[in-house]
Amino acid sequence: MDHLETGRLWNENAEAWTVMARAGYDIYRDCLNTPAFMAMLPEIEGLRGLDLGCGEGHNTRLLARRGAVMTGLDIAGRFLQYAHEAELAEPLGVRYIQGSGLTLPFPAGAFDFITAFMSLMDMPATPRVFAEIYRALKPGGFLQFSITHPCSDTPIRRKVKDDRGQDVALELGGYFHRLEGQVEAWTFGSAPQELRSRFDPFHVPRYTHTLSDWLNLLVETGFVIERVGEPRPDEAALKRCPQVADAGVWPYFLHVRVRKPDVGDCH
Ligand SMILES: C[S@@+](CC[C@H](N)C(=O)[O-])C[C@H]1O[C@@H](n2cnc3c(N)ncnc32)[C@H](O)[C@@H]1O
């Protein structure tokens, strides 16, 4: 499967994803993943940012509200329609562009920073995507991204519960087996059945790497690793969203910030 075919599947997912996420059913994003990502982000006020794989623009808008001059790019036109509508309803100066992470339609050095929330593991040809991001960043600029945690998002995974039904472990396997576009079908588990039944499940092509492959690919591209995060819910998050308690037992997400060296940096 190539990036255009992947994009077509995402286009089909866009309506259900947007309706359910905007209704508050992407609870791992809202309660855990995005707050941790934003807490790890450096100051971005006044900087030119690209949000790669922006979807319907939820996180792009959060970045714009922090004062960044944002561009959102996605391969799926339907997601961008929803993003445009949100921009019209609440103008934040975000421009949305349809394109692919494999061929970013921007000149070299166009951005001070690039974010990719849960989108890089949805694109084929990761070395090429990293090379494109590197090119589009100015020297000294940074990339910060989130992905499903490669150590727990494996082809075989089963929750292990104790006698009281509490999640206590994850059985996993197939860690070294690379997925190259195999399609998984799923939906937001917390959405009520009545809402879920209005839509087909999402069809998501998966492109996996081991943890060391992700980090080595970044280093081989020329990036310097600056910060790594594995968000887990604190007490306040658990109180608000008890459903994410399992994310305190095994890691769901991996956050990485890397920097393109500045011209004057020593090597
Ligand atoms: C899991 S969704 C995440 C959306 C958004 N970042 C969020 O956090 O809500 C992955 C996104 O990556 C986009 N995508 C997949 N392949 C892409 C590619 N080659 N170039 C740009 N975007 C892509 C999909 O269309 C989808 O919007």
**Residue 16 placed within a domain:** yes
Decide if pLDDT at 264 tops 90: no
SS3 141: strand
> What atom in ligand 1 is closest to the CA of residue 129?
19
Q: What percent of the chain has pLDDT over 70?
A: 99
Please tell me the distance between residue 263's alpha carbon and the centre of ligand 1 in angstroms: 31
Ligand 1 lined by 33 (C-beta under 6 Å): no
137 contacts 159 by C-beta, under 8 angstroms? no
CA distances (Å), origin 50, targets 66, 229, 261: 14, 21, 18
- Residue 34 is part of a domain; what is its CATH number? 3.40.50.150
Assess contact for 173 and 188: CB atoms under 8 A.
Answer: no
Residue 90 within a domain: yes
Note whether residue 264 is domain-resident.
no
What domain range is 7 assigned to?
Answer: 3-259
Q: How many domains does the chain have?
A: 1
Residue 215 is assigned to a structural domain of this protein:
yes
Ligand 1, atom 13, residue with closest C-alpha? 53
Q: What is the pLDDT of residue 265?
A: 74
State pLDDT tens for residues 185-206.
999 999 999 999 999 999 999 9
Handedness of CA 169, 174, 177, 180 (dihedral sign): negative
16 lines ligand 1 (CB under 6 A): no
Burial class (CB in 10 A: 0-12, 13-18, 19+), 113: buried
Decide: 79 in ligand 1 pocket, CB within 6 A. Answer: yes
What phi, psi does 206 have (nearest 5°)?
Answer: -115, 140
The answer as to whether 266 is a domain residue is no
* The two structure tokens encoding residue 184: 């998984």
For residue 91, being part of any structural domain is answered with: yes
Please report which confidence band the pLDDT of residue 239 belongs to, taking 50, 70 and 90 as the band edges.
very high
The reply to whether ligand 1 has any atom less than 6 angstroms from the CB of 6 is yes
188 touches ligand 1 (CB under 6 Å): no
For residue 230, the model assigns a pLDDT of: 98
Please say whether the beta carbons of 255 and 116 come within 8 A: no
- Per-residue pLDDT tens for 146-159? 999 999 999 999 99
Q: What is the pLDDT of residues 203-233, one digit of tens each?
A: 999 999 999 999 999 999 999 999 999 999 9
Cβ(10) – ligand 1 distance below 6 Å: yes
